Structure 1
């Protein structure tokens, strides 16, 4: 393990250095030495805080996704605190809730690369215990926030846990369909003798991109799901 101060060094510059490395060459391209060069710091300093690649990745990931969750949580807490004011907040309609969730996930063009890297972290976490713990913590926090969003939408307490799980699973699945690392080419020409392989890779990437969703399509899918939840619960209440 690191010497206990890893989180003191892990920050957005390091995280985005890792994102760029992964974007260019996948997880195998990430080493402590490569991250140090990309983040413009010494290898000695990096190894002082992170004695393994696993610890470095987990600490950087934890810091950034926790910041995302806190930003999302603060929006919801702000709504609840205003309930005590003379003018209560407008209820979260499916449209507003979908916009809030998609905004939290960062599914816009400026962060497509980040979403792709998060998907890679999900895959890595399946066989890397330290990264897996960081990913599990983030997914657990997102699941809790899905429940809070549904509560704000007026979903009854008896149904909110089950509906929260469904919404959480939908969000995780939709994230994997947003343009990102898994289908992005590096845009460089291959060497002589590799042109055919490069063309095949490019065709596969193009086909994969056509199957992906824009942030607007993701938001619409989440909105339809929430509208379906509301309609189903209203029907159950009348029954």
Structure 2
């Protein structure tokens, strides 16, 4: 039997925990729940989930603090679940390392589609031998899913890796915003160009010698992005 996908759901609303637990269990997921930030961090360490659903409005620790704590040691995909609809909250969550942002109330089928997409992004592929691409600032090992800069591995979230990998695989070619969004997030995200701006800015901070004047991760205004080795 294939291994069940482990999901950690963190929310202080009992009815949401119950609804997600029932729906996810019915679809074959292995579900753990937590109702506090401290409980979330403990459960994440104990269960090693494949994906985490994280509410921002927790009673003890702010959800952004929980997210920062998680990103200190794991790349597991995190879907933020929040009643906050302001775009600045969404950008802050994505910039802090979240992989997706779902606002309450939400449709269960759309939520499940986003959950499956997050799991796909986080799963490592061990198929074919893939090339190593070198620049004067960093090295991208597509097979090992790793980036090295100044002799040290660079910590990337699964979504950051997904964006970088697609650009590197199309080295020298213009990749449209829609193509990247469809590949990394799925077809329902074709117009969410703000997601890309957040992740490209983060990748440049981590990889470019001068993020304000990028040499390798280039923007083609109004069209897309290009990786130049």
TM-score by shorter chain over 0.5: no
Structure (1 or 2) with the larger CA radius of gyration: 1
Structure possessing the higher relative contact order (Cα contacts under 8 Å, 6 or more residues apart) = 1
The structure in which a higher percent of residues are helix is: 1
Quickly name the TM-score band, shorter chain normalised.
under 0.3
Q: TM-score, normalised by structure 1?
A: 0.26
The structure in which a higher percent of residues are strand is: 2
